Each structure stands twice: as structure tokens, then as C-alpha cells.
């Protein structure tokens, strides 16, 4: 479907969404009953528009804030400099379009039930889980059990975060069951992620399950789920983009190059420093120069500045954006197996990622062959004097975990999962953390603040309102 049409459709769909996660501001029936509002949308149109919403929410301002707070990116000017100084309030955050888009995923399921379409319902459930997972990972306790019926629950309760994670696993189990049905309605024309391939959607659901199990430290379940997850880069869930401004630009390009050049950049950020230290190390099996140049480019925005590579790298206008990927799936397996003590299986999963990078594949693009080297590791490389043990860890398990954690951090640039990792590592055992410095002060941000609109309209918002330095429950 034409991307311009999809964008217009989603804008229309949001105006008629159930606004389920957010309290209503207007209660008058005459305002609620708009005679000009669209009251029925066919399931194909609904799916297309909702997919746009899901992709938008993986490239939005919240993702940039998460990247800044994870030390991957730096805020250099205007509002984003405030984010880098950790100066935020409830006014900086919003659940629009997150919860409206999530309500559309539930509407997809309702419409699919009406025609007995299990496949489309399963996709709707995966999309629902993606969006609510983002909400709870960034905010902690959030509305879910009462989030999609604004008539019965105009001010939905905030479910405990642990309960949200449990419920999301059930949602994904149901999605997998529906996507395993022997038949369903074809939706290839509406699905710009997987072109209607239910097998790929099912694998993506397993990878998302594995991600959520990793968050809560259930490593055995993470391994079990990832074993059925995305099995190659051909199964990556990537948001496609193009070269038409205002229609299908990659949102990172639109922000970095078109609308706010210079507001953010990599000068002063930890990620390029970490990558340079690895490039200059004695590790003869690895050369990440090509990946570094894929991410960063000097002098695009200003003279001598280290900028996002919007010219020929990760942030061109038509660069696909990752949502769920094979590399993430393998790195989940690697970390979970390492934490369970099976270093051989952990290393095997890490080497599969390295093999993919050695071939140049990353998020739908290809790295330059110059400065690209990812030879397979052996366990001895992580011994006390091993070439892949820069921290001189005393055990193979800890040294291997450090390499896995670093690889995740590098790979998750401009994915909010990096911020999840930074917070999660403080609790996960064995404790292996990156030495990410603070931009200012003595505290690292640990969460997003509940949006002011929700505080104003929903009496169920947890009190007292947590600030940005209070840890969310699963990472305490």
C-alpha cells in the first residue's frame, strides 16, 4: 500500500481510537458523539494504519531520550540538551499515540474475531504486546487490564509491572496459537513488515517473549522462547522507509538531518568512545571500524562534529529501522545461556551474530567490507589473558558476558532496548556493567515520568509521582 495513504489512514484512525490507556478529558456526550467521525474501518485498512503507528513508536522522541539516557547519544541543543542534563518533567512525556495505537491493535482483534480470522488476530496480539511492553519497560506500572474499554473504565487502574509482564506473555502465547492456525485471511497487501508471512510473525512473537523473560531474569524461559524465535536476518521485523520527505523518511534521518540538525549528536557520548577503544585494542579477531563508520560520520552537521551517518550509513532517509531482529534473538540466547552457566552454548549464539556481521548484514543494510572483521571466538579468548577479555575478568563466564553485553549495547543504537539493558544490568547476576559516565550530576535516569495528561485526568496514577531517578519495579 502507498505509504502516503498509510500515514493518512493512521492519522484518521487515531482520531477515532478508543483512547484506552488515557483518561478522557471531555465527558460531554455531545463532544463524544461526533457526527463527522469515522465509525467503521475495514480490518485491512485498520491493520495498515496500526502498523504505521507501531513503527512510528519505535523511532520517536521517546527512543531518542532512551538513547541519550543510555549514553549512546548526546543532547546538544534546545530540548534535547535538557534531556542530556536529565532535566525533565511530566510535561515532557505523552501516551499519545502509544495507547491510541494499542487500542487499535485490540480493535484489529475484535474485527478478526467477527470473521473468524485467526492470523490477523494473532498479528494484532503481537502488535499489542510490542506497544504495552514499551509502555511498561519505560514507565513501570501502567494500565493494561482495563486499558481498552473507556466506557466501562474511563480511568483505568495501573497494573503492577510484574502482572503486566505476565499478562503480556499470555497475550503472546495466544498470538502464537492463532498464528499457528491452519488457515486465515490473507493480508499480504496490508502488511509491509512481513508481507503476510504468519511463520515470520510467529517467530517474532517468540523473540518478543524471550526479550520479556530476559527483562525479568527468567533466563531458562528466555532460552526456551528464543529457540523458536527469529532464525535469520531474513526474518527481521524492519520498518521500511524511502526517500520522500513527509511520506516515508526514516524518522531518525528526518530528525537528525532535516528538522533538528545539531540538537543531538555523538560528541560526548559513551558509545563511540567504547567502539574506538575496541577498534584500538589488541583483539585481532575483531575490527568494528566498518560498523563505527556505519553509525558515525564527522562533519555532516558542523565542522569537526561527530554526527549520525545520514549520508551512507545507518541513518539515511531510506534506512530500515529494527523492531525485532535475529541478532537480538541470538544475543538473548547468548546472555541467558551465559547467566545459566552454559558458556559453550552462549558462545555459539554470540558467534552466530558475529558471523552475520562478518557478512555485512545489519538491519537491512550492508556494512563496508573495509574494516569489517568478526572471526569466531573460542572460550580461551575469554580466559584471564584472553584477547577478548579487556576488563581482565577472572572467569570465562564474566568475560564472555561482558562481550555479549557490549555487543548488545552497540547493536541497539537508537533502540530503546539499550536503555532497558543499562538499567537491567544493575540487577542481573553475575553483575556485568558498562562504565557509562553520567552527563551531569550523580544519578542516572531510571524511568520515564507519567505524562501530565494522565496525572491530570486519572486518579489511579500511582502516588507520589515517581521522578526520573526512581527505578521501575522489575529493575529494583
Q: What CA–CA distance (Å, rounded) separates 396 from 77?
A: 43
Q: Which three cell numbers stand for residue 67?
A: 538513547
105: buried, middle or exposed (CB in 10 Å: 19+, 13-18, 0-12)? buried
Mean pLDDT of 112-139: 98
Count the neighbouring beta carbons within 10 Å of the beta carbon of residue 184: 20
* pLDDT (tens digit per residue) in 311-333: 999 999 999 999 999 999 999 99
| % of the chain beyond a pLDDT of 70 | 92
At residue 12, does pLDDT exceed 80?
no
**Weakest-pLDDT range from 27-36, 152-161, 211-220, 236-245:** 27-36
Quote the pLDDT of residue 132.
98
* pLDDT (tens digit per residue) in 152-180: 999 999 999 999 999 999 999 999 999 99
Q: What CA–CA distance (Å, rounded) separates 469 from 459?
A: 23
End-to-end CA distance of the chain: 44
At residue 34, does pLDDT exceed 90?
no
Which residue in this structure is represented by grid cell 510535561?
A: 91
At residue 5, does pLDDT exceed 90?
no
Quote the pLDDT of residue 16.
37
Quote the pLDDT of residue 41.
85
In contact, 396 and 341? CB cutoff 8 Å: no
| % of the chain beyond a pLDDT of 90 | 90
- Contacting residues for 335 by C-beta, under 8 A, at least 6 apart: 214, 219, 346, 401, 404, 405, 408
* pLDDT (tens digit per residue) in 352-397: 999 999 999 999 999 999 999 999 999 999 999 999 999 999 999 9
At residue 341, does pLDDT exceed 60?
yes
* pLDDT (tens digit per residue) in 392-437: 999 999 999 999 999 999 999 999 999 999 999 999 999 999 999 9
Q: What CA–CA distance (Å, rounded) separates 381 from 376?
A: 10
Which residue in this structure is represented by grid cell 553475575?
A: 430
Q: What CA–CA distance (Å, rounded) separates 366 from 362?
A: 6
Q: What CA–CA distance (Å, rounded) separates 444 from 422?
A: 10
160: buried, middle or exposed (CB in 10 Å: 19+, 13-18, 0-12)? middle
- Highest mean predicted confidence (pLDDT) among 13-17, 44-48, 216-220: 216-220
Quote the pLDDT of residue 39.
47
Rg (CA), the chain: 22
Mean pLDDT of 237-243: 97
The helix/strand/coil state of 424 is helix
At residue 40, does pLDDT exceed 90?
no
Quote the pTM value.
Answer: 0.93
Class of 268-437 in CATH:
mainly alpha
User: What is the chain's mean pLDDT, rounded?
Assistant: 92
* pLDDT (tens digit per residue) in 49-79: 999 999 999 999 999 999 999 999 999 999 9
Amino acid at each position: 500500500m502507498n505509504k502516503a495513504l498509510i500515514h493518512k489512514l493512521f492519522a484518521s484512525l487515531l482520531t477515532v481510537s478508543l483512547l484506552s490507556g488515557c483518561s478522557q478529558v471531555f465527558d460531554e456526550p455531545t463532544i463524544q458523539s461526533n457526527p463527522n467521525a469515522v465509525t467503521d474501518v475495514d480490518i485491512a485498512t485498520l491493520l495498515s494504519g496500526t502498523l504505521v503507528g507501531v513503527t512510528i513508536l519505535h523511532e520517536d522522541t521517546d527512543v531518542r531520550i532512551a538513547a541519550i539516557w543510555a549514553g549512546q547519544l548526546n543532547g546538544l541543543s534546545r530540548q534535547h540538551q535538557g534531556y542530556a542534563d536529565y532535566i525533565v518533567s511530566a510535561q515532557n512525556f505523552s501516551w499519545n499515540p502509544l495507547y491510541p495505537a494499542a487500542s487499535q491493535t485490540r480493535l484489529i482483534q475484535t474485527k478478526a474475531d467477527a470473521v473468524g480470522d485467526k492470523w490477523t488476530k494473532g498479528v494484532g496480539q503481537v502488535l499489542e504486546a510490542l506497544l504495552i511492553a514499551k509502555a511498561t519497560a519505560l514507565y513501570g506500572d501502567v494500565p493494561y487490564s482495563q486499558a481498552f474499554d473507556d466506557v466501562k473504565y474511563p480511568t483505568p487502574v495501573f497494573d503492577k509491572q510484574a502482572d503486566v509482564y505476565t499478562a503480556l506473555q499470555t497475550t503472546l502465547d495466544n498470538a502464537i496459537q492463532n498464528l499457528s492456525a491452519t488457515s486465515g485471511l490473507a493480508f499480504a497487501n496490508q502488511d509491509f513488515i512481513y508481507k503476510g508471512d504468519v511463520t515470520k510473525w510467529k517467530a517474532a512473537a517468540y523473540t518478543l517473549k524471550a526479550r520479556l523473560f530476559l527483562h525479568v531474569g527468567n533466563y531458562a524461559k528466555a532460552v526456551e522462547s528464543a529457540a523458536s524465535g527469529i532464525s535469520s536476518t531474513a526474518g527481521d521485523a524492519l520498518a521500511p522507509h524511502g526517500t520522500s520527505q513527509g511520506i516515508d523518511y526514516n524518522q531518525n534521518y528526518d530528525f537528525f538531518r532535516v528538522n533538528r540538525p545539531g540538537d543531538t549528536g555523538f560528541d560526548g557520548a559513551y558509545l563511540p568512545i567504547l567502539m574506538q577503544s575496541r577498534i584500538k585494542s589488541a583483539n585481532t579477531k575483531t575490527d568494528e571500524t566498518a560498523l563505527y563508520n556505519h553509525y558515525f560520520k564527522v562533519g555532516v552537521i558542523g565542522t569537526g562534529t561527530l554526527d549520525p551517518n545520514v549520508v551512507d550509513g545507518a541513518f539515511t532517509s531510506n534506512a530500515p529501522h529494527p523492531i525485532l531482529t535475529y541478532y537480538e534473538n541470538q544475543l538473548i540466547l547468548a546472555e541467558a545461556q551465559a547467566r545459566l552457566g552454559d558458556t559453550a552454548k552462549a558462545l555459539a549464539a554470540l558467534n552466530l551474530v558475529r558471523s552475520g556481521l562478518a557478512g555485512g548484514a545489519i538491519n537491512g543494510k550492508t556494512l563496508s567490507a573495509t574494516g569489517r572483521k568478526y572471526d569466531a571466538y573460542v572460550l580461551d579468548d575469554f580466559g584471564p589473558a584472553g584477547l577478548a577479555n579487556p576488563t581482565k575478568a577472572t572467569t570465562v563466564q564474566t568475560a564472555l558476558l561482558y562481550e555479549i553485553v557490549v555487543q548488545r549495547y552497540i547493536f541497539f543504537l537508537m533502540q530503546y532496548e539499550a536503555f532497558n539493558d543499562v538499567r537491567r544490568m544493575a540487577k542481573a547476576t553475575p553483575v556485568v556493567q558498562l562504565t557509562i559516565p553520567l552527563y551531569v550530576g550523580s544519578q542516572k535516569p531510571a524511568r520515564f515520568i507519567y505524562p501530565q495528561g494522565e496525572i491530570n485526568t486519572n486518579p489511579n496514577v500511582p502516588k507520589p509521582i515517581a521522578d526520573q531517578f526512581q527505578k521501575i519495579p522489575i529493575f529494583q
